[in-house]
Amino acid sequence: MQILKDSFGRTFPYIRLSITDVCNFKCGYCLPNGYQVDKKDNRKFLHLDEIKRLSKVFSKLGVQKIRLTGGEPTVRKDFFEIIKILKNEAEIKKVVITTNGYHLDEKAKMLVDSGLNGINISIDSLDRNTFKTITGHDRLSEILRGIQNLQDLNFDNIKVNAVLLKNINTSEKDFDTWANFIKKNKVDFRYIELMRTGDNLNYFNKYHVSSKIFKEYLDKNNWIYQTFGKDAGPSLNYINPDYRGKFGIIAPYSKDFCRTCNRLRITSRGDLRLCLFGNTGISIRHLLQKDDQINELQDLILGQMKFKKESHYLELGETGLTKNLSTTGG
């Protein structure tokens, strides 16, 4: 079997697939004015048949895990249908999603029943007002109820991500609040360092802070650094026997971040992106139109692997093609 491998010996068993750019939240660092409908653009996101062909070809190339993201992936009417196709037709072993948790309380049961293997929920603060200020929505309680419902249904791969925002969610009290949360809930919590994108320079300059402050908190409170597992994501994880969940740090600017890269991205319009921030991306959509294009599609994808760079060079201020993360899925 041919697998996805780049010139630096890294392999890619994991795809992040954005299924829509549309989002119903207005996070300050991502879409501060919400999703803007461009009247000239007919919002042609990958449709079901294209997603089916795409996931089948990646499955053939050794991909075992697909993360559905966006925009907000759950706004798609055929969202559950997509999960079903990935699991049953493309035989992807692990199908996971990243979501803002909109209506999670109502959707929890359907998510569990769909066979989903994991969920990452974005919650930037456990303070109702702070949450509302960041996202533009007073929906923290429905999301927390959703997390409870998932646990009640014995769904056991729940992660919560928050973007670290200077003087907004970075006090010792904020960190203690999350510690208390993962003491009671079997949920892993990770802080992501704010990334600079093409759209958010002012926001970035105002709110970016190094994750060092959270690492110092973890060291002070006896959290133990856990070395990488095989299917590890980009998170540096910390454990403590008194807590049910783990803490984690996702620091894209750290010097070793790209060394363990194991994922490629597909945008909602069918571009293959070799890196979240890379300048390298080509459309593969023209080869998703008919079942008999599979070999050509496979050759195109394999041929692109030599263009994957060693690092994103974010530390040099490059933001690549990325205007904001709603188009590539974060």
The one-letter amino acid at 259: R
Applying CB under 6 A, which of residues 13, 70, 234, 245 lies at the interface with ligand SAM?
70
Phi, psi of 69 (to 5 degrees): -145, -165
Residue ranges that bind ligand SF4, judged by CB under 6 A: 23, 25, 27, 30-31, 70-72, 100, 122, 326
**How far, in Å, CA of 280 to CA of 276, rounded?**
10
The least distance separating ligand SAM from the CB of residue 306, rounded to whole angstroms, comes to: 28
| Other CB atoms within 10 Å distance of the CB of residue 11 | 13
Chosen residue from 55, 100, 235, 311 binding ligand SAM by CB under 6 A: 100
Residues 161-220 that bind ligand SAM (CB under 6 A): 161, 163, 192, 194-195, 197, 200
Q: Kindly determine how many residues on this chain lie close enough to bind ligand SAM according to the rule CB under 6 A.
A: 21
- Using DSSP's 3-state secondary structure scheme, residue 121 falls into strand
- The answer to whether 69 contacts ligand SAM (rule: CB under 6 A) is yes
* Residue 267 binding partner per list ligand SAM, ligand SF4, none, with a CB distance cut-off of 5 to 8 Å that depends on partner kind: none
Q: Using CA atoms in the order 59, 116, 84, 294, what is the torsion angle rounded to 10 degrees?
A: -10
Least distance to ligand SAM, CB of residue 5, Å:
26
| Nearest distance in Å: CB 60, ligand SAM | 27
SS3 for 259-326 is: HHCCEEEECCCCEEECCCCCCCEEECHHHCCCHHHHHHHHHHHHHHHHHCCCCCCHHHCCCCCCCCCC
Quote the CA–CA distance of 131 and 137 in Å, as a whole number. Answer: 7
Task: Choose the binding region for ligand SAM from 65-73, 175-183, 215-223, 281-289 (rule: CB under 6 A).
Answer: 65-73
Note whether 20 binds ligand SAM by CB under 6 A.
Answer: no
